[in-house]
Amino acid sequence: MVHGRARMTGIDLWQAVLLGALEGFTEFLPISSTGHLILASRALRLQGEAVNTFEVVIQAGAVLAVLGLYRVRVAAMWKGWLGRDRAGLQLFRNLFLSFVPSAAAGLLLHDVIKGDLFRPWPVVWALAAGGAVMLGMDRWHRPAARGQRTIEQLGARDALLIGLAQCAALWPGMSRAMVTLVAGLLLGFRPVAAAEYSFLLALPTLGAATLFDAVTGGARLLEQVGRLSILAGFLTAWLVATVAIRGFIAYLTTRGLAPFGWYRLGLAALIVGISVGS
């Protein structure tokens, strides 16, 4: 699928910026940031544990984008934790409930996921499957049939169901944004509310994944990639994710999910075609 010999170590500065931009743009769209990073890394002939860790650690930039754009809700959750904001405490509780299932599954399956699924072919099949889901969802979930529930109306049961759905995103290429967005829509939430909850759920989910990989693979990452490339990837992801979140919210107010489904299927077909023809 990827021509040439893979480089086992080192990420040049321009490659770090490119991967950071790709992470920031795709993290909150229903097209799978991890899948795109895996495919891009292989196309750039980058391979190895340090590269896999880099792909996860730069997600911290996307987390920072959410913290900046949703600082009011984050502040409300902090006040809720201190007992001064009931709605903020409820949101904090819901995010925790949504986070636990994927966190537990991720810990149990971490070695299997990294060893068997962080490869192009599993990503291709996940992209295709997710594309079919998005097209089906767009056909069923027409504007007239869209739900009207808001984040404030999200209960503990809803949070757990979204959290269980998020477990599917442990398969690279499936997309955390896609499965949580679709789960929210199926539960009757407005598209914008479902998307915003998905963004907020990225705080504990991506934050924990970044911290885990930084602790377990940080030394190798610093040695093989270097501080400058890590910083470049992080900052680029932050800036691009900030723009991408705003654009996606504006898009969801008037349009459906079909373009993302067709994109996923087209990308999967392109990769298969290149592989068969090589």
189 DSSP β-pair partners: 149
Nearest to 65 by CA among 270, 207, 182, 166: 207
| Residue 230, beta-bridge partner list | none
The answer to whether 237 touches 58, Cβ cutoff 8 Å, is yes
- The answer to whether 77 touches 37, Cβ cutoff 8 Å, is no
Amino acid 145: pLDDT: 55
Tell me the mean pLDDT in the region 185-201.
Answer: 94
Q: Check if the beta carbon of residue 45 is closer than 8 Å to that of residue 2.
A: yes
Give the pLDDT confidence score for residue 120 in this predicted structure.
85
Q: What is the pLDDT of residues 59-70, one digit of tens each?
A: 999 999 999 999
Q: Where is pLDDT greater, at 212 or 92? A: 92
* pLDDT higher than threshold 80 for residue 45: yes
Q: What does the pLDDT read at residue 142?
A: 59
- pLDDT tens digits, residue range 72-81? 999 999 999 9
Give all strands (DSSP E) within the chain, no chain letters: none
Residue environment code for 177-206, b if the CB has 16+ CB neighbours within 10 A, otherwise e: bbbbbbbbbbbebbbbbbbbbbbbbbbbbb
Alpha-carbon separation of residue 149 from 178, 188, 190 (angstroms): 18, 6, 6
pLDDT band at 190 (very low <50, low <70, confident <90, very high): very high
More confident residue, 3 or 204: 204
Q: Is 50 exposed, middle or buried (0-12, 13-18, 19+ CB in 10 A)?
A: buried
Q: What is the pLDDT of residue 246?
A: 95
What pLDDT is attached to residue 111?
82
pTM: predicted TM-score of the whole model, two decimal places: 0.89
